Amino acid sequence: MHDSKLVIGPSDPMLVEPVRLVFGIRNGKIRSVDVDLGYTHKGIEKMLETKNYVQAVPFVERICGICSHCHASNFCYAVEKLDGVEIPERAKFIRTIAAELERIQSHLLALSLTMEDIEQKKLMRETLDKREKIVDAFEEFSGGRVHHSINVIGGVRLDIDKNAANMIESAASEAAEYSKKLEAICKNDLVKKRLEGNGMLSKEEAKLLGVVGPVARGSGVDYDVRRAKPYGKYAEIDFNVKVHDEGDSLARTMVRIEEIPESAAIIKECFDRMQPGELKVRWGGKPRVGEQIHLVEAPRGENLHYVVSRGERTPYRVRIRPPSFANLQCTAKILEGAEVSAIPPAVISLDPCISCTERTAYISKRGIAYVEYRG
Amino acid sequence: MSNTGVEDIIKKFPRVYSLALAGCNGCDIEIIAILSPKFEQERLGIEVVKSPKNAHILMVNGTVNRKLKKHLKNAYDQMADPKLVVAVGSCGISNGPFRECYNMSCRVDEVVPVSIYIPGCPPRPSAILYGLKKTLEKCPLDLAPAPQKTRAKLVRDKKICINCGACTLVCPSKACYFVQDKEKRRVDFNLAYCTFCAQCVEVCPVECLKMVNEYELATSKKEELLI
């Protein structure tokens, strides 16, 4: 049989962001996948070396629009850890609430895109509608629907007032209720037949490839940064880490669905225990000489920020390793030997975020930023 | 735009193709949010299509880097005449906070002619619909107001402002900068560069800056964004 190639991208309705996927096909089965990145590379890490620490926080937030709070809070945590700044209790609670709310929002978006790809338009719209409630609560609380700008080094800038607290709690509990419905829908054949057995990733392969977040937990790897290396308020809060052993697209989707009520419960507990108090401590603007790594659990998995300081007003070097960077590499593994129709649900079940991923670029002789993974 | 009568069809049933360039995803999801039942772009007759070949309006968000420049031109060339381009977000207008990054090649309006600029980081879905209304003069008149706290527009009271430049030190994207005006030195704000983070509001010693919730910013002249 002839070998052929299927090229998806750079702009494609399946993945809204620009990325090019090149599938090598033989006998109607996928043999290889090349992920051609570099379309959204901007050079944020280099730019961060020219910004002072106050300017850097909103700039880091603009790495990604879906997990903007995770990046901003992670950068703040890293600098605070480096300089030994202890942030007030209330700030820790507010950061935890924002992170969990963002997790619900991101998971609902991923689920709605999954529903779109298996041609369930109505479910997609319903899920998007539930997500709107969360985003509205965010706007009421912080003033921004997507980029919240609540973090500064030394605490948070904005307090949660009563109105916003009510909106956040009701939106979270509504999403938790809706997740029960989604769970029931995923047992239905309409959804199950499209997702079950699609994009298999075994536990050993998941460990070898180093995948993180819901992708790893869908393959039976019991790893969550919130429990392994607690930060913020997670050490004092009791929550379950949802793990599925099947390793297919359905398992990854189910992990996301089941995480929504857990996040809602964490938000509720935070509101119950939160006491009025200081929001931020004063910080000089120059951390001490040294380097520090901090990890947070972003909606898509482990997010790493590495900050090197030489005691100046600007960071010497910032390295960011977002979760999609790890997760995108298993595309070749999970699609090997699959049919072409299996591509959209499998790729979407990884929930790839391209603008997060594009941190590194290899400049070839022709001067084009080009990053390539071969599976 | 040639006068062929196709304009009427565009005005009544515009088909929009959303092209994501090297942005942060924020404008992307706000455009996806237009599809949700809360905003429901279809009641306005706007249809979101999946190929530029059958689109009338190209909605561009994000910055233009070296690898994407050719792709943007290609998408624009595929569209049939008459065609309009709408630039969404600070990145779409001026490359926003990333404009000094080494990988930026040019702005969107240097590659394709842009008819409407919609500032915001990212603009609310209602603001995007307002921008489309400006393009088409076809939108319900009662757009829902944004909550009081929404950071949608930066206003400055020039009478109070002492041009001290405290805002220039905290701005992540250099949207406020010093301008030498004869013998006096003043600070200019450009909303095309703004990330709407409101850090300048916090540091202002005389409180001349304010973030307000008016999101009707869409304009066809970039100069109007200078405050």
Per CATH, domain B153-215 is 3.30.70.3270: yes
Q: Are A220 and A206 in contact (CB under 8 A)?
A: yes
Asked if residue A22 belongs to a domain, the reply is no
- Tokens coding A223: 């790893």
Helices (H), chain A: 44-48, 53-61, 68-83, 89-117, 121-142, 162-185, 189-195, 203-209, 213-218, 225-228, 249-273, 323-327, 331-335, 343-349, 354-357
Our CA-based measurement puts residue B52 at a distance from the nearest CA of chain A, in whole angstroms, of: 10
**Which is nearest to A43 in space by CA: A321, A366, A358, A363?**
A358
Is B212 an 8 Å CB contact of chain A?
no
Q: What is the pLDDT of residue A329?
A: 81
**Which is nearest to B157 in space by CA: B221, B117, B212?**
B212
Question: Furthest-apart CA pair in chain B: how many Å?
Answer: 56
- Taking chain B (227 residues) in runs of 10, the rounded mean pLDDT of each run is 57 84 86 83 81 88 87 89 86 87 87 89 88 68 74 88 89 89 86 88 90 85 85
Task: Residue A61: list chain B partners with CB under 8 A.
Answer: 197
Asked if residue A327 belongs to a domain, the reply is yes
Asked if residue A20 belongs to a domain, the reply is no
| CATH number, position A201 | 1.10.645.10
Determine the average pLDDT of the residues in A292-303: 92
> Is A146's CB within 8 Å of B122's CB?
yes
Our CA-based measurement puts residue B98 at a distance from the nearest CA of chain A, in whole angstroms, of: 7
Question: Starting from the edge strand earliest in sequence, which strands make up the sheet with A301-309, in order?
Answer: A290-298, A301-309, A317-321
| Domain locations along chain B | 6-136, 153-215
Asked if residue A261 belongs to a domain, the reply is yes
Choose the CATH number for B6-136 among 3.90.1280.10, 3.40.50.12280, 3.40.50.2000, 3.40.1160.10. Answer: 3.40.50.12280
**Which is nearest to A40 in space by CA: A329, A358, A352, A324?**
A358
Residue A299: give the domain boundaries.
44-363
State the DSSP H helix or E strand holding residue B116, giving kind and residue range, or none if neither: strand B116-118
Would you call B166 exposed, middle or buried from its count of C-beta atoms within 10 A (0-12, 13-18, 19+)? middle
Tracing tokens 């895109």 back to the chain, one arrives at A113
Q: What is the pLDDT of residue A230?
A: 92
- Tokens coding A10: 């750079």
State the Cα angle at B115 between B10 and B49, rounded to 5°: 45
Task: Residue B66: list chain A partners with CB under 8 A.
Answer: 367-369
- Tokens coding B10: 């565009």
Asked if residue A369 belongs to a domain, the reply is no
State the DSSP H helix or E strand holding residue B125, giving kind and residue range, or none if neither: helix B125-136
State the DSSP H helix or E strand holding residue B127, giving kind and residue range, or none if neither: helix B125-136
Asked if residue A370 belongs to a domain, the reply is no
Residues 99-138 of B with CB under 8 A from A: 100-104, 121-122, 124
Our CA-based measurement puts residue B130 at a distance from the nearest CA of chain A, in whole angstroms, of: 17
Tracing tokens 């009544």 back to the chain, one arrives at B12
Our CA-based measurement puts residue A49 at a distance from the nearest CA of chain B, in whole angstroms, of: 11
CB-nearest to B100 from A16, A47, A56 is A47
ipTM for the whole complex: 0.84
Residue A361 has pLDDT above 60, yes or no: no
A108-166 pLDDT, tens digit each: 999 998 888 888 888 888 999 999 999 999 999 988 888 988 999 999 998 999 999 99
Total tally of structural domains belonging to chain A:
1
Instruction: Name the residue of chain B whose CA is nearest to A57's CA.
Output: B172
CB-nearest to A11 from B20, B36, B97 is B20
CB-nearest to B150 from A47, A68, A143 is A143
Asked if residue A33 belongs to a domain, the reply is no
> Is B26's CB within 8 Å of A68's CB?
yes
State the DSSP H helix or E strand holding residue B170, giving kind and residue range, or none if neither: helix B166-170
A172-224 pLDDT, tens digit each: 999 999 999 999 988 888 888 888 888 899 999 999 888 999 999 999 999 99
> Is A144's CB within 8 Å of B196's CB?
yes
